[in-house]
Structure 1
Amino acid sequence: MTSVATLPARDPAARRPVPRRYLMCRPDHFDVTYAINPWMDTADPVNRTRALAQWEALRVAYEGRGHRVDVIEPVAGLPDMVFAANGGLAIGERALSARFANPERAQEGPAYHGWMAAQCFTSVARARETNEGEGDFAIAPDRILAGTGFRSARGAHQEVAEYFGLPVVSLDLVDPRFYHLDTALMVLDDTIAYYPAAFSGTSARLLASLYPDAIIATEADANVLGLNGVCDGYHVFLSDRAVDLAAQLRARGYEPVGIDLSELLKSGGSVKCCTMEWHSVRTAVASETD
């Protein structure tokens, strides 16, 4: 199931943004009323007005660069529904809604499933295995990278591989601060950026072999969820606090777009957490299906 082939590096001068379709959810009900990761502190009040303004700035940043943004209706009583990336996976004409690990978020799965079912997918399924969508599944040009250790079951990796017919590479997360793959790794264009210490030794070595030209994030940038970003092939939307990572991206020919999501960081989420992508089927991936 796992592919270990590498892709040739792309000429930085040839980088171009590709229009994407994203799903977001307004933080109308966002709050920190429970703690299910180390970032959450119920004693630290949320400024919802500021959270809404920060979320809106991200939406405007996407649309201003040519991307389509759909918005799902938020549900009262689901304060973390703003983190749309966790709602499922959408690739080509198939979608798989999430099955959340924590009871506090369990009803988000049906909410996102309902949105998917209303779209033009040829197949929409509910996950059998516990998984939290793009929180733990990163769609790369030649494979799907999949995290496990805190939220998504390893069995979900096989389920995703079978449902989408794509190769999946399993990675073990070991630091509770980086409880989802998208907090420790970001797919760029022809490579990735990641924080090796978030992974087991075996997984870190595997990533190093798959992506010898990867950008290695500093601990400081990882600790502000700088890797929780979104790349459109040229622009990289990420936390404005990840200054070293932004400099590395610029040196590789990307254009970093800093976004302040400090209020949402109180729940352990940033740019990518707020963004589910409806991925097109990529020829490079499909050709490696086994």
Structure 2
Amino acid sequence: MNTFKKIEELRAELLKYRLENKKIGLVPTMGALHHGHISLVEQAKEKSDVVAVSIFVNPTQFNNPEDLEKYPRNIERDLDLLKKAGCDIVFTPEVTEMYAGSHDLKISFGVLENSLEGKFRPGHFSGVGQIVSKLFNIFQPDSAFFGQKDLQQFFIIKKLIDQLCFPIELHMIPTKREDNGLAMSSRNERLTQEEKLEAGLIYQTLKQSAEAILEGTSIHHVIEQANELFEKNERLTLEYFEVVETENFTGISTVSDPKTTALCIAAEIGKVRLIDNLLLNY
């Protein structure tokens, strides 16, 4: 496994593989890796000749400076996990490498960025679009792999690929979960064991709500029930719970197609913000 910090050195290495007509699969991450990330690497290995992973905590997608400061970092552990997973290339740039000079570029994703995560985290998706575009230009991968846990982000990136004509095949990998259903996330490292157990309510709510909708319960009633569940919990605070169309991530009152319907949730526990989702036809 080769590790690079400089863009030009990485590009030179990737060119060697391209000249051999080898397919490159990219897994962008912000580090603090867990089994969910490794599942992305495993899928990339199945579908690519060369697996490349980036580790970069991107400052432009954080609207909360405290969240950026407290974001978990453990590069030595990350590199050890990636080596064991059979990763070929790791890119670990400094902020000055990725954002040399000014970085005032803004990317708008229209209605898709103004709902749910975009609404509660202004500027977040512009930052995501900015860094993912940079990584796509640097790596020029044949395919890229993202987790379903960040479902809205996945569709943001899909729009980026479609509208900017990146010749990249995009793959969404199912969310990996703890035994109680809690979605694996780097932010989970900031939770106590007790908080992790309590946070299982997030997935429980998603699953029960999806089953209720499929059985004919109205979306309005399902949302009311979800809010009541969280109101009874003293430590978990519900930020939003919505049933949306994945085309634009705006709320719906009736289901037109289960395949394009998602239940999305954000909640806070112990000053840690957690998000999760479930596709209705899971």
Which of the five TM-score ranges fits, normalised by the shorter chain?
A: under 0.3
Higher helix share: 2
Higher relative contact order (CA 8 A, sep 6+): 1
Provide TM-score, normalisation by structure 1. Answer: 0.27
Provide TM-score, normalisation by structure 2. Answer: 0.28
* Larger-gyration structure (1/2): 2
